[in-house]
C-alpha cells in the first residue's frame, strides 16, 4: 500500500481527497524536525510538504519516493535536479494561491503607505496622531515597479493600475511585447527602473540569479522615499542592506511577508522599526487560498502516484519524455 507523508495536516478540503482513498497509508506530521521528517520519508512513496526540505539528505533516506507535492508554488526547498535524476515529479499548486498573495501584497503596500499599524498602535496606547515619522502618501499617480510577471505579478500589476499607478514590469523571462500588450512599461535594467520607482513589489522566484537581488547597490539606485514589498522569498532581499536603507530614511517603509530566516531571530532589527509591516509568510493563508492549495496539492500527489502527473503542475515536466508510459498517461 503506497504511503504518503504529509509535513502538516492539510486543509479539510484537501485532506478529504486523500482520506477518500482506501488504498493509501497516510502519515501526518506537524512541522517535524529534520530527523523526524527523514525517518518518515524512509518508507514514503509520496511526500506533501510545506516548508520541509527534499534535498540530497532527504532523498538518500527515501528510496521509495516517487512523488513530491508542495503546498505552494515555490520550490526552493526541493532539490529539483536530484529529483529529476531519479524520475520523481516535483509538483506545485499553480494557480491556487496567486489571488490570495496578490491581495496580501496590496494590503502590505497600503499598510505602509497609510502607516496603518503605526497609527493603530498609537491610538490603542492612548494617543491620537503620532508626531514625527514618515508621512502618509497616496498611491495614485506614483510609479510602481513589479519584479516578476508570473501569475501573482500579473494580478498585482492589474491591482496597481486600478489604484491609478503607473506600472513598470521587469521580467526577463517574458517577451517585452507581451508586457507592453498588457499596457505596462517594460524595464530591461533593474537599477535604471529602481531609480524611477516609488513602489517596488517582488514576485520573482528565488534562484541563484535573484538571491540578494535587492542588495546595497539596488537600494542605492532606488528612488528616495520608496516603499518595498516582498511576498516572494526572503533571501531575494539582503536584509542588512534593507535595514540600512530603512534606518537612513532612504526607504519610506517596507511590507514583508517573507524574511531571510523564518521565524526571525528576536534580535532582528526589522522587528523594531516602526516603518516596517511584517506578516509570518502568510500571504496565501486565507481560508479560500488554503482550501485551493490543499485540494491541488492532494490531487498532485495522487496523480503522480497513479502515473499521470499533470505537466502543468510540474516543475520538471521534462522527465516525462524519459518515461513513455507516464507521457502516454498524461
CB burial class (10 A; 0-12, 13-18, 19+) of residue 114?
Answer: middle
Q: Is 262 a catalytic residue?
A: yes
Of 104, 115, 143, 281, which is the active-site residue? 281
Q: What is the 3-state secondary structure (H, E, C) of 107-120?
A: HHHHHHHCCHHHHH
Residue in 233, 292, 295, 299 annotated catalytic: 233
Residue 38 bears catalytic tag = no
Question: For residue 234, what is the DSSP state?
Answer: G
In sequence order, what are the residues at sequence separation of 6 or more whose Cβ sits closer than 8 angstroms to the Cβ of residue 320? 309, 311, 314, 326, 327, 330
In terms of C-beta density within 10 A (0-12 exposed, 13-18 middle, 19 or more buried), how is residue 241 classed? middle
- For 253-287, b/e burial (b = at least 16 CB within 10 A) is bbbbbbbbeeebeeebbbeebbbbbbbebebbbbe
The CB-based long-range contact list for 72-77 (8 Å cut-off, 24+ gap) reads 72/97, 72/284, 72/293, 73/97, 73/98, 73/151, 74/205, 74/206, 74/232, 74/233, 75/205, 75/315, 76/205, 76/206, 76/233, 77/49, 77/51, 77/52, 77/53
216: Cβ–Cβ under 8 A, 6 or more apart, which residues? 238, 240, 241, 244
Query: Coil, strand, or helix at residue 150?
Result: coil
Q: What phi and psi, each to the nearest 5 degrees, are found at residue 126? A: 100, 0
The one catalytic residue in 262, 287, 318, 322 is: 262
Instruction: Give dist(CA 232, CA 151) in Å, integer.
Output: 12
Tell me the three state secondary structure of residue 10.
coil
Q: Could you list the active site residues? A: 233, 262, 281
Amino acid at each position: 500500500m503506497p504511503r504518503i507523508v504529509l509535513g502538516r495536516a492539510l486543509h479539510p478540503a484537501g485532506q478529504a481527497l486523500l482520506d477518500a482513498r482506501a488504498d493509501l497509508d497516510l502519515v501526518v506530521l506537524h512541522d517535524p524536525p529534520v530527523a523526524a521528517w527523514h525517518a518518515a520519508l524512509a518508507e514514503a512513496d509520496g511526500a506533501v510538504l510545506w516548508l520541509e526540505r527534499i534535498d540530497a539528505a532527504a532523498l538518500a533516506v527515501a528510496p521509495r519516493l516517487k512523488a513530491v507535492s508542495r503546498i505552494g508554488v515555490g520550490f526552493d526547498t526541493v532539490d529539483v535536479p536530484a529529483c529529476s535524476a531519479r524520475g520523481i515529479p516535483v509538483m506545485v499548486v499553480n494557480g491556487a494561491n496567486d489571488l490570495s498573495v496578490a491581495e496580501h501584497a496590496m494590503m502590505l503596500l497600503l499598510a505602509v503607505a497609510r502607516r496603518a499599524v503605526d497609527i493603530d498602535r498609537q491610538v490603542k496606547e492612548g494617543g491620537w496622531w503620532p508626531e514625527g515619522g514618515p508621512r502618509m502618501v497616496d498611491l495614485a499617480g506614483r510609479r510602481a515597479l513589479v519584479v516578476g510577471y508570473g501569475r501573482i505579478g500579473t494580478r498585482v500589476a492589474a491591482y496597481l493600475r486600478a489604484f491609478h499607478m503607473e506600472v513598470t514590469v521587469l521580467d526577463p523571462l517574458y517577451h517585452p511585447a507581451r508586457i507592453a500588450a498588457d499596457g505596462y512599461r517594460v524595464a530591461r535594467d533593474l537599477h535604471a527602473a529602481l531609480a524611477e520607482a516609488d513602489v517596488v513589489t517582488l514576485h520573482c522566484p528565488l534562484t541563484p540569479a535573484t538571491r540578494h537581488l535587492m542588495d546595497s547597490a539596488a537600494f542605492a539606485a532606488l528612488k528616495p522615499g520608496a516603499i518595498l514589498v516582498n511576498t516572494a522569498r526572503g533571501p531575494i532581499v539582503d536584509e542588512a542592506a534593507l535595514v540600512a536603507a530603512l534606518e537612513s530614511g532612504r526607504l519610506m517603509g517596507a511590507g514583508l511577508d517573507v524574511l531571510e530566516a523564518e521565524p526571525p531571530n528576536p534580535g532582528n532589527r526589522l522587528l523594531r522599526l516602526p516603518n516596517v509591516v511584517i506578516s509570518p509568510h502568510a500571504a496565501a493563508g486565507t481560508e479560500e487560498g488554503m482550501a485551493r492549495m490543499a485540494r491541488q496539492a492532494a490531487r498532485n500527489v495522487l496523480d503522480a502516484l497513479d502515473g499521470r502527473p499533470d505537466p502543468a503542475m510540474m516543475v520538471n515536466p521534462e522527465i516525462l519524455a524519459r518515461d513513455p508510459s507516464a507521457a502516454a498517461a498524461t
